[in-house]
Amino acid sequence: MVDDSTEPGAHGAGHRNPDWAEVLPLTTVETFLAAMVEAGPEVAEHLVRAANELLLAAQALMGAAERRLAEQRRIRDESATATDPGAAAAPDLPDDAAATASGPTTHLRSVDDVAS
């Protein structure tokens, strides 16, 4: 009968087995976690703040992109209405039908459509 506790993968990398003369090297994740534990709560707090700043920056970029798309839609709709008074009825048609009725046009998708 084989004792599984002496098998190399039984305890995972970096764990000591009293039967072994050497220790397996730590994985990247284990090294990161060990460094976090050694560094203390100040480092964890700093990383949380940095992650929060990155999240706020991403939200600001998304907001700017949404505002720019809304501005482009407004300009497109105004120019379509100015050149073709019947273009105001086009939004009632499905996207495919509107494209077919008015010919080839550039179609701007919503941010939600692009993200999904």
Quick one: what percent of the chain has pLDDT higher than 90? 28
Question: pLDDT tens-digit profile of 53-85?
Answer: 999 999 999 999 999 999 999 999 999 888 876
Give the mean model confidence (pLDDT) for residues 23-28: 85
Q: Please say whether the beta carbons of 72 and 79 come within 8 A.
A: no
Q: Which residue has the tokens 């397996």?
A: 24
Q: Write the CA distances from 48 to 41, 44, 45, 65, integer angstroms.
A: 10, 6, 5, 26
**Residue 51 pLDDT > 80:** yes
